[in-house]
């Protein structure tokens, strides 16, 4: 006799077209459960089965939200990979100086799609929740692997969004280093996502593009009173995503800066109207940057080693360029920079054509105290050792006396308080 609820309603397994025997197996499992627990188990299964019929939990809702997440995670992954390559000098990719605003676009997009993914993921987990309790929990080895991949996908997604959001809000509560952890888990999460898409391909296709005989429920069917419709649920999710975007995107899209209420930064707020990432005091350069003994040294593979005072630097030919600072954390701000073209200094020192260089900051600790200037950046006419921002002497917090500013370059590599250029 099959186990039954007190009401006498037989327990049914979640209907699965491929597994006609699932119901029998479920009954066999239920029969092994001690009698007192059996009723509880049966009613839990019945409750789950009812939940699975609600529009918000159906395959179509899962597939629609899944498709949106598939797009947003792919965009995050590709823009994230580009960010990684742009920062890490490697043998096979050298970040070009043009187009000047490329990194501003890709990293703004990375953080914006990351933020949009938060309401999408919460909605998806809500929609998917009753599907997690499959009976029996494991059917065969492939099914076990699929269940494990679901666990990895959910944990990885939560980790990516949690760490990304915290970092872009400049909150570092983790005991590990954000960048390598976010990078490694990105690969794992995308791997699990590909497995998930493979596992759900057929059901997704049926749910999104049903043939006439596959329609989930008859058109125009009445949703039980009080139940959330799919349209209402997806509409609320889209509205949440829209509001979050509108209140944060102004950190990089200037015209929307006034409504950027939730953005950690505004592009027009900071020292001399431009945000500051690490102030001079925090970098420990208050004395060294203002010292009369300051010299810019150009050495390494040069014909003539240079040592220039601030007055000498100010006396050289200056060039002005409008360039953004694009922080990896998602904000960016445009300014007019005036200074000495990097390539002019290299030429003056007699560096070889196509030479690369490392620039060093007066800052004595921290990961951003030096950066690599590849050949494309070193020889672009707009790559400057800036002395001025928006027509005024560079503020101490923006890198006085001398900072690097170049087109298409992550903010972390726009090194401030430069005192040495080593030609390679």
Ligand X SMILES: Nc1nc2c(c(=O)[nH]1)N[C@H]1C(S)=C(S)[C@@H](COP(=O)(O)O)O[C@H]1N2
Instruction: Name the residues that contact Mo ion, by CB under 5 A.
Output: 277, 327, 411
Q: Closer to ligand X at the Cβ: 153 or 325?
A: 325
What tokens does 55 get?
């529009």
What tokens does 158 get?
């939560």
User: Alpha-carbon distance 225 to 230, whole Å?
Assistant: 14
Using rule CB under 6 A, residue 93 touches ligand X: no
Q: Closer to Mo ion at the Cβ: 302 or 412?
A: 412
Which of 215-245 are b and which e, b meaning 16 or more Cβ less than 10 Å from the residue's Cβ?
ebeeeeeeeeeeeeebeebbeebeebbeebb
Q: Closer to Mo ion at the Cβ: 54 or 372?
A: 372
Give min distance, CB of 385 to ligand HEM, in A.
Answer: 24
Q: Closer to ligand X at the Cβ: 14 or 416?
A: 416
Give min distance, CB of 281 to ligand X, in A.
Answer: 12
> Which positions touch ligand HEM (CB under 6 A)?
59, 62-63, 66-67, 69-70, 73, 76-77, 80-81, 83-84, 87, 110-111, 114-115, 117, 124, 128, 131-132, 150, 153-154, 157, 160-161, 164-165, 167-168, 179, 182-183, 186, 189, 193, 196-197, 200, 203-204, 207, 328-330
Pairing relationship of beta strands 384-389 and 319-326 according to DSSP bridges:
unpaired
Closest-CA residue to 398 (of 337, 341, 343): 337
Residue from 152, 411, 421, 423 in contact with ligand X (CB under 6 A)? 411
Residue located via tokens 């003539």: 304
Residue from 417, 419, 421, 423 in contact with ligand X (CB under 6 A)? 417
Preceding peptide of 80 cis, ω within 30°: no
Give min distance, CB of 115 to ligand HEM, in A.
Answer: 5
Using rule CB under 6 A, residue 104 touches ligand X: no
Q: Closer to ligand X at the Cβ: 46 or 271?
A: 271
Residue 283 site contact among Mo ion, ligand HEM, ligand X, none (CB < 5 to 8 Å, cut-off depends on kind): ligand X
335: which strand partners? Answer: 323
Q: Closer to ligand HEM at the Cβ: 46 or 155?
A: 155
Binding site for ligand X (CB under 6 A): 274-278, 283, 325, 327, 361, 363, 366, 368-369, 398-399, 411-412, 414-417
């Amino acid at each position: 006799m099959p186990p039954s609820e007190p009401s006498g309603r037989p327990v049914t397994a979640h209907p699965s077209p491929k597994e006609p025997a699932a119901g029998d197996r479920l009954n066999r499992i239920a029969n092994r459960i001690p009698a007192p627990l059996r009723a509880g188990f049966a009613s839990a299964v019945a409750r789950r089965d009812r939940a699975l019929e609600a529009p918000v939990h159906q395959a179509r809702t899962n597939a629609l939200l899944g498709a949106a997440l598939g797009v947003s995670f792919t965009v995050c992954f590709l823009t994230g990979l580009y960010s990684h390559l742009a920062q890490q000098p490697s043998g096979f990719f050298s970040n070009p100086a043009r187009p000047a605003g490329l990194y501003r676009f890709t990293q703004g997009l990375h953080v914006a799609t990351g933020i949009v993914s938060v309401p999408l993921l919460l909605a998806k987990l809500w929609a998917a929740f009753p599907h997690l309790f499959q009976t029996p929990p494991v059917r065969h080895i492939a099914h076990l692997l699929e269940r494990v991949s679901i666990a990895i996908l959910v944990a990885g997604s939560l980790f990516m969004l949690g760490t990304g959001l915290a970092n872009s809000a400049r909150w570092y509560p983790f005991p590990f280093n954000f960048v390598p952890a976010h990078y490694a888990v990105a690969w794992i999460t995308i791997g699990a996502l590909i497995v998930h898409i493979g596992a759900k391909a057929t059901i997704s296709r049926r749910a999104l593009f049903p043939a006439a005989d596959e329609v989930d429920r008859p058109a125009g069917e009445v949703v039980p009173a009080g139940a959330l419709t799919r349209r209402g649920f997806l509409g609320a999710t889209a509205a949440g995503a829209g509001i979050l975007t509108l209140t944060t995107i102004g950190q990089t899209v200037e015209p929307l800066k006034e409504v950027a209420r939730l953005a950690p930064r505004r592009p027009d707020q900071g020292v001399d109207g431009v945000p500051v990432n690490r102030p001079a005091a925090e970098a420990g350069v208050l004395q060294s940057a203002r010292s009369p003994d300051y010299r810019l040294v150009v050495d390494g593979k040069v014909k003539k080693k240079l040592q220039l005072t601030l007055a000498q630097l100010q006396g050289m030919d200056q060039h002005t360029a409008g360039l953004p600072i694009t922080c990896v954390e998602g904000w960016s701000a445009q300014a007019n920079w005036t200074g000495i073209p990097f390539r002019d200094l290299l030429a003056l020192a007699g560096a070889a054509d196509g030479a690369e260089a490392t620039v060093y900051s007066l800052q004595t600790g921290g990961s951003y105290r030096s950066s690599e200037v590849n050949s494309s950046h070193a020889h672009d006419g707009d790559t400057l050792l800036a002395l001025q921002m928006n027509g005024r002497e560079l503020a101490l917090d923006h890198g006085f006396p001398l900072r690097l500013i170049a087109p298409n370059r992550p903010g972390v590599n726009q090194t401030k308080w430069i005192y040495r250029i080593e030609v390679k």
